[in-house]
């Protein structure tokens, strides 16, 4: 999930997705560089996109700082989102209805 967030931020910074041709493109990708993040839960190996011109470093990863709090916040937010959707679906099934208001 963290890698997807980094890639999405890079796409916004560049103005185009990977291998996409657009007039709004401001830079081009030039591979990745590897970074190991040390957290209380263990080490994470991630790939940071390199640009041909300019520089890019994800906002989520503050330079020379531990990522524990930011990473845990993202994971917990996603877990709450999934649990909320799961509970809503279970409530609908328990009520005996399906999408569109029809009874099951």
pLDDT tens digits for 56-70?
888 777 665 566 666
Angle CA(41)–CA(35)–CA(58) in degrees, nearest 5? 95
For residue 5, pLDDT over 80 is answered with: yes
Question: What is this structure's pTM?
Answer: 0.53
For residue 27, pLDDT over 60 is answered with: yes
Mean pLDDT value across residues 75-85: 77
Q: How many domains does the chain have?
A: 1
Strand runs labelled E in the chain: 29-39, 42-51
**pLDDT at residue number 98:** 55
Q: Which domain holds residue 60?
A: 2-101
- Token pair of 35, please? 């970074």
* Distance of alpha carbon 33 from alpha carbon 48, whole angstroms: 5
Q: Which residue has the higher pLDDT, 59 or 47?
A: 47
């Amino acid at each position: 999930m963290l890698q997807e967030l980094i890639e999405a931020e890079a796409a916004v910074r560049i103005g185009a997705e990977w291998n996409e041709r657009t007039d709004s493109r401001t830079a081009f990708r030039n591979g990745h560089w590897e970074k190991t993040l040390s957290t209380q839960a263990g080490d994470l190996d991630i790939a940071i996109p390199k640009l041909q011109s300019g520089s890019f470093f994800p906002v989520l990863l503050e330079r020379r700082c531990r990522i524990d709090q930011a990473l845990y916040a993202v994971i917990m937010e996603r877990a709450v989102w999934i649990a909320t959707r799961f509970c809503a679906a279970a409530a609908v099934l328990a009520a005996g209805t399906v999408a569109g208001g029809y009874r099951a």
